[in-house]
C-alpha cells in the first residue's frame, strides 16, 4: 500500500465511521480545523484519560490543573511568544498563496527574480520573507483597541507556570513535584496539514515537573524513559517510535536540552511529544515581568531557589492520529478486503459489539438484556441489522476488540459466541460468564 494512499484511506474511514469530520463542512470547511465524531471523541478521551491516570491518579507527586485559555497579555511577553513565536512567511503576488519561507517546494530565493511560486509556477512573484506571529489575537471587552488585545494560548504550559505557587501552597506539595494539564491550544500555522497532525486548534497534554537546580538532568532522563514507556503502553509498534535529540540550533529559546519522541508516519518521522529541560527560564521570566517572587523555600535544606522545570508536552490529536495510523490494516479474507483498526483495547472507543444472530426466536431479547448488562461496565454497541459478517466488519473498522453473538445455542445451551477482532477466532462462553470473560481481557484498561 502506497503511503499517501494509507492517509487517504484513513481520512475516508474517519469520516465514514464517525471518528473525525472537517470543521464546518457544509460551508466548505475551515482550513486545518477538525471535529471529532462519536468514535473519535471516545478514542481521544480514552487517550487523555490514560495520560491523566498515569500522571495525576497514578502518582503522589503530580497535581492536576485546568487553567483558562485566555491569559493576561503580559504572560506572552514574559514567555517570549510575542517577540519570538514566529515563522518566516512569503506571499505570492500573483496567486496570493502564502508559504513558509523554508517550504521545500520553493525553487530559488524568495524575494529574488529567480524564485518560483510552488503553486502557480510564476517566477519573481514571491515576496521577501517577513516574520509572522503564530498566536491568534482577539479583543477583551467592548473596545477593539490595542489595550484590550488578548491571545488564544499557543501552549498550555504558561497556565501552569503562573499557577505554580497557588498549586504548591494549596496542595502542600514539596519539590520535586509536578503539575499536569490537558487543554486546547491554538496556533495560526502557516503550513498546517496531514489531517489532524498539524492543526490550528488542538489539544495538549502537558506536565511541568519542578525540581531543585542540579537535579534537573537526572529528572529529565527519568521523564524521558517514563514517557516512552507510556507510548509503548498504548500498543504502538515499538520499531516506529524513536528519539530525536535537538541540536544546538534546533533548541527552543527556553530549552537547555530537548528530545522529541517521533513516530514514523506515512509522511515521515515526526514529533508526537517533546521532553524539555527548561531550566529556570519560565519562572525567572514570570518573576521578572510580574514583579512577584516565585522562589521556593526548601525547609529541610534551609535554602531558597527558583526551581528548574522538566516539561513533557504531548499533543492529544497527534497521539490520536498516531494510534489510528498504527492500527490501520487491510487483510484479504475469503476474497474480500477486511479493514481493521487493531487498536489496543485500552483506547478502543467501543469494547464489545453485541449481536442477535437473527431478529427472532427470542435472540434480540437476550442480546438486548446482555447489552444493557455489559454497558454498565464498558462501552458497547448493539447491532441487529444486516448479515452477521457485515456486522463483524463494521466493528473491525471501528477497532472494537470483541463481538458477542447470541445464536441458536444461546437458547438451548445458554452460551454465546465471542469473536476476537484480530484473529477472527470464535469461542463459546457461558451467557452468565461473558461479562467477566471480557472484563478479564480488558484488564485494568477500561
What residues line the site for ligand GAP (CB under 6 A)? 155, 157, 187, 189, 198-199, 202, 204, 206, 271-274, 311, 313-315, 317-318
| Residue closer to ligand GAP (CB basis): 189 or 264 | 189
Q: Which residue is nearest to ligand GAP (CB)?
A: 315
Which of 39, 70, 235, 234 minimizes the C-alpha distance to 138?
70
Contact between 228 and 261 (Cβ < 8 Å): yes
Q: Tell me the CA end-to-end span of the chain in Å, nearest whole number.
A: 33
Least distance from ligand GAP to the Cβ atom of residue 210, Å: 15
| Residue closer to ligand GAP (CB basis): 318 or 419 | 318
| Residue closer to ligand GAP (CB basis): 242 or 436 | 242
Least distance from ligand GAP to the Cβ atom of residue 206, Å: 6
Buried b (16+ CB within 10 A) or exposed e, 313-330: bbbbbbbbbbbbbbbbee
Collect all residues with Cβ–Cβ distance below 8 Å to 231 and sequence separation of at least 6.
Answer: 241, 261, 272, 273, 319
Grid coordinates of 68: 483558562
DSSP notation for 398-419? HT--EEEEE-HHHHHHSEEEEE
Least distance from ligand GAP to the Cβ atom of residue 282, Å: 10
- Could you give the CA distance from residue 9 to residue 190 in angstroms, rounded to a whole number? 25
Least distance from ligand GAP to the Cβ atom of residue 199, Å: 4
Least distance from ligand GAP to the Cβ atom of residue 371, Å: 36
| Residue closer to ligand GAP (CB basis): 50 or 391 | 50
* Rg of the chain in Å (alpha carbons): 26
Contact between 187 and 154 (Cβ < 8 Å): yes
| Residue closer to ligand GAP (CB basis): 252 or 429 | 252
| Residue closer to ligand GAP (CB basis): 167 or 379 | 167
| Residue closer to ligand GAP (CB basis): 307 or 315 | 315
Least distance from ligand GAP to the Cβ atom of residue 367, Å: 40
| Residue closer to ligand GAP (CB basis): 152 or 438 | 152
Q: What angle do CA 13, 15, 16 make, to 5 degrees?
A: 65
Collapse the DSSP code of 352 into the 3-class scheme (helix H, G, I; strand E, B; otherwise coil) and give the result. Answer: strand
Contact between 255 and 276 (Cβ < 8 Å): yes
Least distance from ligand GAP to the Cβ atom of residue 155, Å: 4
Collect all residues with Cβ–Cβ distance below 8 Å to 137 and sequence separation of at least 6.
Answer: 149, 150, 151
Contact between 407 and 363 (Cβ < 8 Å): yes
Least distance from ligand GAP to the Cβ atom of residue 260, Å: 7
Least distance from ligand GAP to the Cβ atom of residue 200, Å: 7
Rounded alpha-carbon distances, angstroms, from residue 153 to 136, 197, 340: 8, 19, 37
HSE of 194 in the Cβ direction (CA atoms, 13 Å)? 19
Collect all residues with Cβ–Cβ distance below 8 Å to 343 and sequence separation of at least 6.
Answer: 43, 235, 323, 327, 349, 399, 401
Least distance from ligand GAP to the Cβ atom of residue 49, Å: 18
Contact between 337 and 317 (Cβ < 8 Å): no
Amino acid at each position: 500500500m502506497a503511503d499517501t494512499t494509507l492517509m487517504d484511506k484513513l481520512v475516508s474511514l474517519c469520516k465514514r465511521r464517525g471518528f473525525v469530520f472537517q470543521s464546518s463542512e457544509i460551508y466548505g470547511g475551515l482550513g486545518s480545523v477538525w471535529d471529532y465524531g462519536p468514535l473519535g471523541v471516545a478514542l481521544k478521551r480514552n487517550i487523555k484519560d490514560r495520560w491523566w491516570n498515569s500522571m495525576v491518579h497514578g502518582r503522589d507527586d503530580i497535581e492536576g490543573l485546568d487553567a483558562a485559555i485566555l491569559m493576561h497579555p503580559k504572560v506572552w511577553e514574559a514567555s517570549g511568544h510575542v517577540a519570538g513565536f514566529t515563522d518566516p512567511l512569503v506571499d505570492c503576488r500573483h496567486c496570493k498563496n502564502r508559504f513558509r519561507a523554508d517550504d521545500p517546494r520553493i525553487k530559488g530565493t524568495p524575494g529574488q527574480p529567480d524564485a518560483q511560486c510552488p503553486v502557480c509556477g510564476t517566477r519573481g512573484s514571491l515576496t521577501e520573507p517577513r516574520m509572522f506571529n503564530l498566536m491568534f489575537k482577539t479583543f477583551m471587552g467592548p473596545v477593539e483597541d490595542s489595550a484590550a488585545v488578548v491571545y488564544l494560548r499557543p501552549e498550555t504550559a504558561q497556565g501552569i507556570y503562573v499557577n505554580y505557587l497557588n498549586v504548591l501552597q494549596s496542595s502542600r506539595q514539596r519539590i520535586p513535584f509536578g503539575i499536569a494539564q490537558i487543554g486546547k491550544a491554538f496556533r495560526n500555522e502557516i503550513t498546517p496539514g496531514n489531517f489532524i497532525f498539524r492543526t490550528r486548534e488542538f489539544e495538549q497534554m502537558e506536565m511541568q515537573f519542578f525540581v531543585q537546580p542540579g537535579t534537573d538532568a537526572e529528572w529529565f532522563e527519568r521523564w524521558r524513559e517514563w514517557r516512552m514507556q507510556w507510548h509503548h503502553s498504548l500498543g504502538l509498534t515499538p520499531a516506529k517510535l524513536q528519539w530525536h535529540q535537538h541540536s544546538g540550533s534546533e533548541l527552543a529559546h527556553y530549552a537547555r536540552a530537548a528530545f522529541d519522541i517521533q513516530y514514523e508516519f506515512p509522511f515521515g518521522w515526526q514529533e508526537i511529544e517533546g521532553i524539555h529541560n527548561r531550566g529556570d527560564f519560565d519562572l525567572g521570566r514570570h518573576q521578572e515581568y510580574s514583579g512577584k517572587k516565585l522562589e521556593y523555600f526548601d525547609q529541610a535544606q534551609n535554602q531558597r531557589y527558583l526551581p528548574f522545570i522538566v516539561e513533557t508536552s504531548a499533543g492529544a490529536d497527534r497521539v490520536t492520529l498516531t494510534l489510528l495510523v498504527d492500527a490501520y490494516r487491510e487483510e484479504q479474507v475469503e476474497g474480500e478486503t477486511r479493514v481493521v483498526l487493531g487498536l489496543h483495547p485500552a483506547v478502543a472507543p467501543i469494547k464489545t459489539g453485541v449481536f442477535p444472530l437473527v431478529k427472532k426466536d427470542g435472540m434480540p431479547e437476550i442480546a438486548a438484556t446482555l447489552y444493557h448488562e455489559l454497558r454498565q461496565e464498558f462501552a458497547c454497541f448493539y447491532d441487529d441489522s444486516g448479515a452477521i459478517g457485515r456486522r463483524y466488519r463494521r466493528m473491525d473498522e471501528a477497532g472494537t476488540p470483541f463481538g458477542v453473538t447470541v445464536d441458536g445455542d444461546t437458547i438451548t445451551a445458554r452460551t454465546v459466541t465471542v469473536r476476537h477482532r484480530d484473529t477472527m477466532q470464535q469461542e463459546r462462553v457461558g451467557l452468565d460468564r461473558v461479562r467477566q470473560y471480557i472484563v478479564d481481557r480488558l484488564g485494568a484498561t477500561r
